[in-house]
Chain A
Amino acid sequence: MRLFRGRGLQIYTWLVIAWLIVPIAVMVLFGFNDTKGRYNSTFQGFTLKWYGKLFEIGDLTQALVNSLLIAVLTMLIAGVLGSLIGLALGRYRFRGSGAMNVVMFAAISCAEIVMGASLLSLFVTLAVPLGFWTIVISHVMFSISFVAITVRARVMTLDASLEEAARDLGAGTWTTFRLVTLPMIFPGVLAGSMLAFALSIDDFVITNFNSGGTVTFPLWIWGSTRVGIPPQVNVMGTLIFAAGLLIALGNALVARRRR
């Protein structure tokens, strides 16, 4: 019980945080490594040259572009479809909402490999050629539920009487949606869409099953583990990390100012 008092637990927490951050620090550090050969295994001095040669490996660059394109498409499609579901579940009571919740819970708690394998089974059975679009289909599939849950949570906190007021004042369904509902739920839509983007750009397992010959950033890294990871991968990983960090910090600042 002594551990639970005072400093011990605080030090422990910081140690766990350090453990979580160590591999990230190593990744960032070796993006600055002045390595001579293809192997990036011992630190040989500080350099920025890999930032200059970032796009020198053609198929790696293509993989990153694929990942970004797929993530943007996933964000847009899953963002819209998931938000509509979230709006329906948060605002209306209707027969069938229970079934929708069960399917979404199943999609969220299902093992990724099972989702990837069963979708591949469908594509194989129907002889659908695998590639860019099958990846997009799979990413939208697993992102929809996350967007819907995020938006539903937002919708539930809102007051439905505002929409009634708009309608009483003569606004039609579409006008009410555009001028009242959408602005109110927009923070939820934005958060859900960003979550979809993040899930998509990081996905490996489901993509691995349904990619065919198309290579994404995680798949490219996976494919080159045996021959060694070039420093460009570390740099790209660092830049994605930095971008995520900036967005998260910006978000926190905006939230603080609002308060």
Chain B
Amino acid sequence: MRRLRAALTPYALIFPGGVWLAIFFVVPTVVMLSLSLQSGNVADGFVFTWNWQSYVDGLTNYHDQIIRSLVYGLAATLIQIVIGFPVAYWIAFKGGRHKSVYLFLLLLPFLVSFVLRTISWQFLLSDNGMLLGPLKNIGLLPGDFRVLATPFAVIGGLAYNFLPFMVLPIYVALERIDPRVLEAANDLYAGKFQTFLRVVLPLSLPGVFAGVLMTFVPASSDYVNASVLGGTNTTMIGNVIQNQYLVTQDYPTASALSFTLMALLLVGIFAYAKALGTEDVLEVAAR
């Protein structure tokens, strides 16, 4: 009896949370797939008809936005690696006693609402605002120069908003490097550059991979930055999905697009994880 109870304990513990996740996370994904294959409209209701047409329509009408989302997401991710890696490197190796202070400073933006941060950039970058206004007044920039409503503003916003998710995993990977390994490289006559290229960089890669996972997914599926900082030529797939769900209420097309986005990201993640060795990436990402 006692043994049976012990065997059941973990199941009893995960039961309430597991049910919550099953009903409100796993089941909805199936419902969304079903909805994408239905036809009808909001007024008359929807019926399941294996209506693949929503996928055809969605991909025909919005392939530009899908490709743009992936390109913007990739661009933002690459920028984050370039900006974030040296920062993570410096904090991990030269941060000394104040490492946690620097990490804390990097995380400060998270104490301000995501929407508010993005609006703050809109304000800063506005056509005659705090940054561009003075430069235009002294003639350094032409009067019709703008940053808002360009891809640069959207990609910049994405890179800004998710940067800490790139720096932290790289920092964790670099922090774990045993200093004796670096000494060994030095003893074996590796110069600083050689040491970096052959020892530090390979050991940091799991962190970079995890960072890519944690920044590419939210960046490529975002619609806040494109709405606030972008214009009509920078709409991403997130904008389309949001609009189809909440404004036009064309649920089949909306869920078909949403499912397509999920499938693309999933295939991407698994291909990526497979290429790099599943355990490592998932392990680091789960932390």
Contact = CB atoms under 8 A, between A and B. Distances in A.
Interface string A51-92: 000000000000000000000000000001110110111011
A198 B286 CA distance: 19
A13 B87 contact: yes
Interface in B110-149: 110-117, 119-124, 126, 129-130
A185 interface: no
Contacts of B18: 85, 100, 103
A118 B86 contact: no
Contacts of B102: 13, 17
Contacts of A149: 286-287
B163 A20 contact: yes
A96 to B, nearest CB: 7
B284 to A, nearest CB: 12
A160 interface: no
Contacts of B122: 225
Contacts of B25: 103, 106-107, 115, 119, 141
- Which of A10, A12, A222 is the most central at the interface, judged by chain B CB atoms within 10 Å of its CB? A222
B13 A87 contact: yes
Nearest to A16: B87
A205 interface: yes
Nearest to B35: A121
- Which of A4, A19, A111 is the most central at the interface, judged by chain B CB atoms within 10 Å of its CB? A111
A76 B87 CA distance: 36
Contact of A237 (B11, B90, B116): B116
Contact of B113 (A85, A120, A225, A237): A237
Contacts of A124: 35, 251
Interface size class of B (residues with CB under 8 A): 35 or more
Given A23-B120, A113-B238, A118 B31 contact: yes
Nearest to A211: B246
Interface string B178-208: 0000000000000011001000000000000
A14 B124 CA distance: 20
B172 interface: no
Interface size class of A (residues with CB under 8 A): 35 or more
B245 A111 contact: no
A248 B110 CA distance: 12
Contacts of B11: 88, 94, 96
Interface in B151-195: 160, 163-164, 192-193
Contact of B109 (A24, A109, A111, A113): A24
A148 B286 CA distance: 11
Interface string A133-168: 000011011001100110000000000000000000
A108 B17 CA distance: 15
A245 B105 CA distance: 10
B258 A204 contact: no
Contacts of B109: 20-21, 23-24
Contacts of B265: 111, 114
Interface in B18-69: 18, 20-22, 24-29, 31-32, 34-35
Given A84-B13, A138-B24, 10 more contacts: A10-B94, A20-B105, A24-B111, A24-B117, A81-B16, A107-B21, A122-B24, A144-B17, A149-B287, A218-B114
Interface of A: 1, 3-5, 9-10, 12-13, 16-17, 19-24, 26-27, 30, 41, 80-82, 84-85, 87-89, 91-92, 94, 96-97, 100-101, 103-115, 117-122, 124-125, 137-138, 140-141, 144-145, 148-149, 198, 201-202, 204-205, 208-209, 217-218, 221-222, 225, 229, 233, 237, 240-241, 244-245, 248, 252
15 contacts: A4-B196, A13-B91, A23-B124, A27-B120, A41-B129, A88-B9, A100-B18, A107-B25, A109-B285, A113-B221, A113-B241, A118-B32, A119-B24, A204-B113, A237-B113
CB-CB nearest 5 A-B residue pairs: A23-B120, A81-B17, A111-B221, A88-B13, A244-B111
